[in-house]
Amino acid sequence: MEGALLARDLANNPLGHLIATEYGDFATEQGPSFGLTVATYGLAALIELGCGGLLGVNAGSYEEPRMIVLRYKPEGVPTAHLALVGKGIMYDSGGISLKPWDLMHLAMKMDMAGSAAVLAAMTRLRDLGANAEVSAWLMCTDNMPSGTATKLGDVLRARNGKTVEGENTDAGGRLVMMDALCLAMEESRDAIVDIATLTGAAMAAPVTLVGATIGNNQELVDQVTAAAAATGESAWQLPLENRYLKQLDSDIADISDVGGTTAGTMKSDTEDS
């Protein structure tokens, strides 16, 4: 799926990397053939929805953002409703907090891999005979430095009204996903699975050849890790530790987008909120 997207992009986009608008166009064109309904949300719609995280990360980019919402409904009464969220940072320069030059910089076209995994999974549901309803949110934008980019110390307002102080613009992935998580929480759903390349924090664990897995429902985490093992995708569960939450305090907002230099994957409130 990602290969097909990239091939299409290279034929039409001189930038040489997949951009959010073409990603949205592709999903809109191809989604119905897999039994999916697809809706895309551009700049004006995202402003109306109050998706300040996605908009803040997009502020420095020449390309418009897109939120792509895909929905699958089985025949008959669904047994459950699963929400999927995919990080779609199409290219991550780090923003104003520009990444240092190294091979990671060259790989940042893959920072949309979480959304690609979600999109690919959605296209298989009908063929697998999935009997649950599944909704997916793909949050797509470049993260670039420019005169309009979000700066350190700026405060962004999430979809649910909470404010976030930007202390590192390279933390854009979590900001775009917070809006999708808010939207998923607004719906009646049984579980939410979030897939993302939050690379630096996971590698510091160190997790380089396996996927870091965290969650606030152990039964669901066990299902995810079992599925990973069955498909040859190694996964390692990391803990959520509330004692790290103090590091996310902000003097000017409800929360900071980063906190401390360690335990970057483990700071979360374990309540379903």
Name the residue among 112, 55, 63, 57 with its Cα closest to residue 85: 112
Given a contact cutoff of 8 angstroms between Cβ atoms, the answer to whether 142 and 61 are in contact is yes
Helix/strand/coil for 179: helix
Give dist(CA 245, CA 268) in Å, integer. 6
Given a contact cutoff of 8 angstroms between Cβ atoms, the answer to whether 89 and 23 are in contact is no
Given a contact cutoff of 8 angstroms between Cβ atoms, the answer to whether 89 and 176 are in contact is yes
99 catalytic, yes or no? yes
For residue 87, what are the β-bridge partners? 139
Place of tokens 């290279």: 10
Question: What is the per-residue burial (b if ≥16 Cβ within 10 Å, else e) of 185-194?
Answer: eeeeeebbbb
- Which is catalytic among the residues 71, 99, 109, 162? 99
Show the CA angle centred on residue 24, arms to residues 19 and 30, nearest 5°: 125
Please count the other Cβ atoms lying within 10 Å of the Cβ belonging to residue 273.
7
Count of positions (residues) in the chain: 273
Q: Is 50 left (phi over 0), alpha (psi -120 to 50) or beta?
A: left
Rounded to whole angstroms, what are the CA distances from 158 to 32, 47, 174? 30, 11, 11
CA dihedral 51, 185, 154, 104 (to 10 degrees): -90
Half-sphere exposure of 18 (CA within 13 A, CB side): 29
- Which is catalytic among the residues 87, 157, 159, 174? 174
Q: Tell me the catalytic residues.
A: 99, 174
